Every structure is written in structure tokens, then in C-alpha cells.
Amino acid sequence: MAHPLTASQRDGVFPVADEPADLALFDSPTGAIRLMRGPEARCDLLPGAEVVPELRDLGMGNWTGRRLADVDPRQLARWVGDPEAAPHGGESVGQLLVRVRGWLDRLDGGAVFAVTHPGVVRAAVSVATGADYQRVDVPPLGRASLTGVGGRWNLRLQ
């Protein structure tokens, strides 16, 4: 599940790590055996959830805290058009996909509920189904339910 809306998302700003989420619309999970979350404050919604470094947000380097409108359009186009590009000096989408694939590969069975970032949910759907990362859209509080065994994943729409 993607974390709730943040002020940065609302204002078109690349978020900083310790930004809180708006909890007004958050609905707690039921039935999960393990609770996991990204390390940022906006993912700290589940008491006792395991902090998983692989669920951290895409590293935006020197774009962190900057408004999308203030980024050089050529750099932005390069970043959007090439999954291996990281003109911001942070993490590329390709690196994010490798990181999320590693996390999914290490899951050892049983139900997991994780609160992370829209980009990480996009990456999980992309890795699990083969969908193009750029063609997956995940809003705040968007949920993707992945079921599977032995590295074979299915996307269950909710």
C-alpha cells in the first residue's frame, strides 16, 4: 500500500525523508501475518511494523525538496525516458526495480502488509507482472495485492 497523501505530493515537490503523511484516510490492515514499512516518517502508520530498508522511497538526490516545476525540463525528460538515468544524482528507476525485486525474492511465505511509497508499489507491480514501470500509476493510499509462490506473482485487484 502506498502511504497517504503528503504536503509535498499535494504541492508537486520531491519529498524529504521525514515528511509525515495525512492519516485522516488511513485504514488499518487486517489479516496480515507480518507488518512492514519503509523507513521514512510518512510510512510509520503501523505500530510494531518492521522497518525494511528496501521499501524506502526512490532516492531523488539533489532534487529532494525541490518543486517539480523548478527542475530543468531536459533533465526531467531524460529521467522519465531512461530507466537507467539519474540526472538528480540519486537512484535510477532501474536501481529501484532491482532493489524491489530483491525484497520480493526474499519474502518467505505468509501474508505481508507493507506501507511504502507509490514508486515502490509501482516497482513491485512492474517486477511481479512484467508491466512497464512508466505505465503503472499508484495514487496515495493505492493498494496492490500480490499473491504467489516461488517467484511467480499474480496481481489481485481490490
* Predicted confidence (pLDDT) per residue in 48-74, tens digit: 999 999 999 999 999 999 999 999 999
Cell numbers placing 86: 539519474
Residue 112 has pLDDT above 60, yes or no: yes
Q: Which string of b and e fits 63-90 if b means at least 16 CB within 10 Å?
A: bbeeeeeebeeeeeeebeeebeebbbeb
Name the least confident of 17-31, 48-62, 143-157.
Answer: 17-31
> What are the structural domains of the chain?
7-25+32-156 (3.40.50.1240)
Report field, pTM of the whole predicted structure over 0.95: no
- Distance in angstroms (rounded) separating the CA atoms of residues 158 and 142: 10
Residue 11 pLDDT grade (very low, low, confident, very high; cuts 50, 70, 90): confident
The percentage of the chain sitting over the pLDDT mark of 90, rounded to a whole number, equals: 57
Question: Distance between alpha carbon 125 and the CA centroid of its chain, in Å?
Answer: 10
